[in-house]
Structure 1
Amino acid sequence: MKNILKSKYDLQQIRISGKITADVLKMIQPYIVPDISTKDINDICHNYITHVKKSIPACLGYNNFPKSICISVNDVVCHGIPNKKLFLKNGDIVNIDVSVIKNNYYADASKMFLVGLVTNKHKLLCKITQNSLYLSLKCVKHGVKINKIGYIIQKYVEKNKFSIVKEYCGHGIGKNFHELPYILHFYNKNDHTIMQKNMVFTIEPMVNEKSSHIQCMKDGWTVKTQDGGLSAQYEHTILVTDTGCEVITHQENEKIPKIFINI
């Protein structure tokens, strides 16, 4: 376990990457409007990451992923590839997933954007997904079982009549994009991993409007719901502390604290 606990220097660097990641998600907000292509959104983010922030978009070239960010629209669960022929339209819900590398350290976050007038059902889907992540942060601290995160998320999502995607999980992050530990978003009674101070990992629940069943498209990346129901996701990079956690990718307009004290 020792190698997945971060040093003081590691944490300084991850915080820098986390701030950049959060800044990208803030910067792109005004551009999420009807009739913009997802390629244009990608290019705006790429230029901001590389030229303004002097950083590297972690997705670009990762296992041959062709673009700098993932953009998942409506029934796309995750890993949507930006496309010059795909234009946002009124009523869409859109996940933008940003990962950056700065000074050889990674951070990762995503959030939902509403395009124009969105139905109340789809607004609720986004809200419940975000709330499930926020609720799980209240259990994060040194000494607590990691499976409590998934327990809280699954219970809340299913209580609100939505479903949790089980094929993808959160992950440790730092000098690598994906590290231990793995963070399931549903309850696994057989996972006895304990959170430890200075672990850094993502929590990133994917919640479907209808069934949890998913399918991967022929491009090898784009994951969609099987039944055409819409899907939402929120993600943060989290640091475990003695008394709670720090939201490394915290965005200034969020209605949660950056530091959680979970005594």
Structure 2
Amino acid sequence: MIEILNPTLLSRARETGAVVADVLRTLKDRSAVGTNLMDLDRWAKALITEAGAVSCYVDYAPSFGHGPFGHYVCASVNDAVLHGRPYDYRLADGDLLTLDLAVSKGGVAADAAISFLVGEARPPESVALISTTERALAAGIAAAGPGVRVGDLSHAIGTVLRGAGYPVNTQFGGHGIGSTMHQDPHIANTGRPGRGYTLRPGLLLALEPWVMADTARLVTDADGWTLRSATGCRTAHSEHTIAITDDGAEILTLPRPY
């Protein structure tokens, strides 16, 4: 299913995007050395509820997962990159943490992810991973607009990821979003320009470049959800929800000024 939102629903999408951005920023601010991932999940639940939104994750049970996800935020540490299920773990100095959050409010969903380093340590490889996914996300957003094809976005993202020397996995990538969290079209993190669905104003997309330092192969944890690099290398993931406009794209999940 591909949805095109009318102006009323786009206004609601902006509200939902603001909730996602604000919750992620608060969780990042609280992610210190010693913070437990289960506390982040508990805080996410409280913040989402306080904002009048609902989690897209708690009851989420796709074919690739093992039953309902059962948590409010994806928290992936170091070699975990996607669908990280929170567990009893206290963050250490230099951990690379990815938080991925999707909520719905007013019947419209928004989805975003951030990767960052905990504490004071700044391992160069980790800094490079995070920077590359952020630059790839910016390239994908810059390429988006009416009349552009999905392959153009994939190509823009993949050019940055491959240009930095990282292998690219195409099993999981960006996606359409609207009344539900995951919709068509699928947006791979590399691809050929000029191919695929043609973007139209009112379309919402979640673009999400992610990479693993030295492999494109994922392995699944015993929890049935958390996806890790097959080699144990570090990973990073950046994501925004955007709306296609008459003259480009609007980022809906940017944090508001303090």
Whether TM exceeds 0.5 here: the answer is yes
Q: Does 1:231 align with 2:235?
A: yes
- Which runs of 5 or more structure 2 residues have no equivalent in the other structure? 62-67
State whether structure 2 residue 52 is matched by structure 1 residue 54. yes
Question: Is 1:250 matched up with 2:248?
Answer: no
Structure 2 CA distance for aligned equivalents of residues 138 and 20 of structure 1: 23
CA distance in 2, matches of 1:144, 1:104: 27
Aligned-partner residue type, residue 102 of structure 1? K
- The residue aligned with 2:150 is 146
Alignment of 1:115-126 (within 5 A): 115-116=118-119, 117-126=121-130
**Corresponding residue for residue 110 of structure 1:** 113
By relative contact order (CA 8 Å, sep 6+), the higher-ranking structure is: 2
State the superposition RMSD in angstroms.
1.5
Equivalent of residue 101 in structure 2, options 82, 98, 101:
98
What residue is the counterpart of 1:43 in the other structure?
A: 42
* Aligned-residue offset at 1:218: 2.4
Question: Residue 164 of structure 1 contacts residue 205 of structure 1 at CA under 8 Å; is this kept in 2?
Answer: no
Give the letter aligned to residue 19 of structure 1.
A
Q: CA deviation at 1:53?
A: 0.7
Rounded to whole Å, the distance in 1 between the matches of 2:193 and 2:250 is 26
Residue correspondence of structure 1 range 141-220 to structure 2 within 5 A: 141-188=145-192, 191-220=195-224
8 A contact 2:83–2:226 mirrored in 1: yes
Tell whether 2:84 aligns with 1:80.
yes
2:163 and 2:143 map into 1 onto residues whose CA distance is 19
* Number of equivalent positions: 250
Secondary structure (helix, strand or coil) at the match of 2:224 reads coil
Distance 1:189 1:22 in 2: 30
Maintained 8 Å contact 1:92/1:118: no
Specify every segment of 5 or more residues in structure 1 that has no aligned partner in the other structure, as ranges: 254-263
- Between stretches 230-239 and 5-14, larger displacement belongs to 5-14
1:89 to 89, 92, 98: 92
* 2:19 equivalent in structure 1: 20
> Does the 8 Å contact 1:165/1:205 carry over to 2?
no
Which deviates more, 110-119 or 186-195?
186-195
Matching residue's letter, 2:116: F
Tell whether the 8 Å contact from 2:154 to 2:193 is kept in structure 1 after alignment: no
- d(CA) in 1 for partners of 2:224 and 2:204? 28
> Is the 1:133–1:205 contact (alpha carbons within 8 Å) kept by the matching residues of 2?
yes
Partner of 1:5: 4
Q: CA deviation at 1:41?
A: 0.8
Aligned to 2:64: none
Distance in 2 between the 1:243 and 1:197 partners? 9
In structure 1, what is the Cα distance between the partners aligned to 2:74 and 2:209? 15
Residue identity in the other structure for 1:56: V
1:74 and 1:231 in contact (8 A); partners too: yes
Shift of 1:128: 0.8
